[in-house]
Amino acid sequence: MTEDRSADRSVPVDAPGGSYAVHIGRGLLARAGELAGPLAGAERAAIVHADALPGPAEAVAAAFEARGLEVRRFPIPAGEDAKRLDVVAELYRRFAEVPLHRADPVVAVGGGAVTDTAGFAAATWLRGVPLVNVPTTVLGMVDAAIGGKTGVDLPSGKNLVGAFHQPVAVLADLDTLATLPAAERRAGLAEVVKAGLVADPALAEATATRATAAIAGHPDALAPLVEGAVRIKAHVVGADEREGGLRAILNYGHTLGHALERLAGYTGLRHGEAVSLGMVFAARVAEATGLAAPGLADGHVQLLSRLGLPVGGIEVDPDAAIDAMATDKKARGGLRLVLLSAPGQPQVVPAPERALMAELVRSLAKDPAA
């Protein structure tokens, strides 16, 4: 767990596909042009941003203009509505009109859906142009904007079309989090808890301890939590860029979480809320199969409840959920789950028999925190 510091901080990510820094601090939007790095030969910058976020996009555009680049802004839908192939196709059309050349950066400003979509467009336009990520949500800062995973959804599943494309810089301006609804900050903290549960239990506990201030958007409370999660992801990505083994642990809670999002039509259930439910499910699977001692699931429920995240109270067709989980990208030779034998001790294991999984999906109908 990183101690809080008043100064801005920079976390290095050393991946085979590219090394870069994740800058974490306040007032970074105005320094975006400077912090983006060399960008040798660039003449233009394409600012791709959520259409609901004109303010941060304007600040970033001004910073790149001050650097001497011609700037074009491309708004796209907010949330999961951005993660569609037709949105990417429209970006291609507009990149061609500029025209955007191979040295010109795509700058993604927004939440994880924006960085996923803009990153995929950057990865595939001219077979790859520089990408600068400027995440404006907790989820984006601690997860989506780091590590090079880009992609969009299909009706048959989440993130099924994508590419690995490392950014050249990531700018996590904590001031942008103050404008979010508290529910969005709360949901984003589920990813910080996830990082802690798989790699640093002290970070998970610190997230619950700082929950009130962090959910309220106080930068001093959020800074060490964001930095702690970023350092975990940077370490994992540096060791396993393309999910050959270790990186899969970052999907803790996501196998069922993604299935729940898909069954909800990507509306009404935030990603972090779905992951929270997915972590409770995973803990119950670990206990039921004997991988973990009794008490792991209750510990998850107590921890996540302290942040006000859902731990039950959701009714879902078990068969539909299991079928949706079968499209998970970790399903090699059958469905696999990320489970914990204890906090900080993750394993990727074959899923248990369908009847047991169905029983444990049904168990989420009861809310133990109620």
pLDDT at res. 2: 44
> Is 251 a known active-site residue?
yes
Strands 70-76 and 106-110: unpaired
User: Which residue of the set 210, 258, 270, 300 is catalytic?
Assistant: 258
Q: Report cis status (omega within 30 of 0) of the bond before 99.
A: yes
Residue 271 bears catalytic tag = yes
Q: Are 191 and 275 in contact (CB under 8 A)?
A: yes
Most confident region among 94-108, 152-166, 235-249 by mean pLDDT: 94-108
Average confidence (pLDDT) over 105-117: 97
- Classify residue 79 as left (phi > 0), alpha (psi -120 to 50) or beta: left
Mark whether 254 is an active-site residue: yes
| pTM recorded for the entire structure | 0.94
Q: Is 191 assigned a catalytic role?
A: yes
CATH number belonging to the domain at 252-370, selected among 2.120.10.30, 3.30.300.30, 1.20.1090.10, 3.30.1300.30: 1.20.1090.10
pLDDT for the residue 6: 44
Q: Choose among 176, 170, 149, 175: nearest CA to 160.
A: 149
Pairing of strands 9-15, 18-25: antiparallel
258 is catalytic: yes
**Mean pLDDT for all residues in the chain:** 94
Of the candidates 184, 191, 261, 273, the residue annotated as catalytic is 191
Same fold, 9-179 and 252-370: no
**Amino acid identity for residue 232 in this structure:** I
**Is-catalytic flag, 159?**
no
**Topology (CATH level 3) of domain 9-179:** Rossmann fold (3.40.50)
In the chain, what are the domain boundaries? 9-179, 252-370
Give the mean pLDDT of 201-215.
Answer: 98
Question: Which range (52-61, 303-312, 338-347) has the least confidence?
Answer: 52-61
User: Is residue 339 predicted with pLDDT exceeding 90?
Assistant: yes
